[in-house]
Structure formats: structure tokens, C-alpha cells
Structure 1
């Protein structure tokens, strides 16, 4: 069994101004993938500004060289679900901070900042910060391959050391 560094807890907070895929609205849900892992939120009916506020968890074995992929879909009853855009984000800056094993840091301290650029899907600056004794990252991702929409996420880390996850 591979050695798990820890768990990445992704709180899918909400969607903002998502695309309409049904007549008046959409029934959106989010799928997040990292390698072979796949997690998904519940469907929010008839809402282009859905509030999921749901925590999804991925296990991280080593620092992934591949981005985490987020896709939004519109749930349909009789036809395949419609794509409502996608985004990806790199967790390496977040994991670099986790590896620092910070202690006695003032709550709210920003450790690193990522600025939006052509190579990422950030809609605005994203901060990796120390909150309530843990490393967190808050981000707004702009969806690609769609006319509009953003998804708000918050990441936090659950350390795998000393747990039954180690081999």
C-alpha cells in the first residue's frame, strides 16, 4: 500500500453565475478528480448560484504532478448530463506550505499568494493561510469552456502521519 501523506479536504462552497443548461436554470453538481479518485457533490435543483457547502476528500500519496480537475454538470433526467464548464487547480503551492509543519503561527497569517494568470483558473488572488491551527486555501475558480460561471472552494489539510493510513 502506498504511503499516504494526508487527506485534502475540499469544501465546495458555491457556484456563482453558472450557465443555464435547462430552459430557465440548471441543476448543477460538481465532480472533482485527481488521478483515479473521483468525488462529487449533491445536485442543487434549479439554481445557477447553488450553495453546496459540501466537503469532499481526496487522499494525497505524494505531491501530484497533475492538477486537480473540477467539472460542473447539469443533471438531466432523460438525456446525458450537460457540461457546465471545468477548471483545474494545482495543489503543489498548498502542499509546500503543509510540508513546512508550521507551529505557533498567528491565526490568519497569509503564507503564500497565487495570482490569477493564463496558466491557472483563478478568478482572483488565492491565499494559503494559517487558520485555526491548520493550513487552508480559499479560491474562486473561473470555469473554462463555458460562457460564464465560477466555483468557490476552500481547501484544508488533514495530516496522515501517525494514523492508520500509513503502510
Structure 2
């Protein structure tokens, strides 16, 4: 089993429309992977074309429990006086990336544009995201091998 860090680079989004009657929407993204969830900053005053350029790290393993190797990006509009509005979501399937990273130590998907889909399954703009997986070697094994090598001298 390969265990490592999956890094998500949230770049920007385009053509998300506007869900606010007054002023521009203030979008942010909830990034979910296998029970883990992280939140981007709120792109205040950016309207339907926000820019984030933020990185997020998730623990990932391959093969792991289940076969649900996907990142879900939920885009919401931050509202002050009411609940936040759901704008749409995008899904990134990362199983192939994890397989490559498990074999080679690292694998990267350069930033690509993904369609943002509303609850009614209609298209609402796009979001640009990159993903990297880096396999980690357990410290236990490093320490064990170091002790074995030192004791044989």
C-alpha cells in the first residue's frame, strides 16, 4: 500500500454567473476527499471569476478502503445575512494519478479546467485545478533500516 500526500492546487474559476441581487458574489470552495474536507478563502468582490491560487494537502493511500478515488469541489457563495448559496460542483477522478504515484514515487496532473455543474445538472462555468500525489516512506522503516545498516558495520 502506498501512503502519501495529495496536494490540490485551486487556481481559479470562470463564468460562474452571479447569485447575489446586490453586488458581486463572494465564492469559496469546499474540497472533499475520502472524508477529509478543507475550505478555501473567500474570494471577496471577485464575482463569477474568482482567483484563489491556494494549495491544500490531503492524506491519501492506494489501494485504500473503498474505490471512491475522487475529489469533490463544492463552490458556494458566502452570504452575510443568510445561508451560503450552492453555486455548483466539479469532480476530479484521481485513481490513475494515485496508481502512477504509488509506482513512481510522485505523479502530477497540471492545472486543468473542469466543468462546474449545478444541482439541476446544468453547466455553470469552470474551475481550474491541479493535483499532485507524492508517496511517503514511513519513518519506522527508515529508522529500522538505518539501525540495521549501522549495526552491521
Q: TM over 0.5, yes or no?
A: yes
After superposing the two structures, state which structure 1 stretch, 137-146 or 65-74, moved more: 137-146
Summarize the alignment of residues 1-167 of structure 1 with structure 2, pairs less than 5 Å apart: 5-23=3-21, 24-47=23-46, 48-63=48-63, 65-66=67-68, 67-101=70-104, 134-138=106-110, 139-145=112-118, 147-163=123-139
CA RMSD of aligned residues (A): 2.2
- Tell me how many residue pairs correspond in the alignment: 132
Deviations 1:113-165 (A, max 9, x none): xxxxxxxxxxxxxxxxxxxxx5210221101115521110111123221447x
Provide the C-alpha distance between the structure 2 equivalents of 1:4 and 1:101, rounded to a whole number of angstroms: 11
* Larger relative strand fraction: 2
* Larger relative helix fraction: 2
Return 5+ residue gaps in structure 2 as ranges: 143-153
Return 5+ residue gaps in structure 1 as ranges: 103-133
Shift >4 Å, 4+ stretches: none
State the TM-score, normalizing by the size of structure 2: 0.77
Give, in angstroms, the shift of residue 40 of structure 1.
1.1
State the TM-score, normalizing by the size of structure 1: 0.71
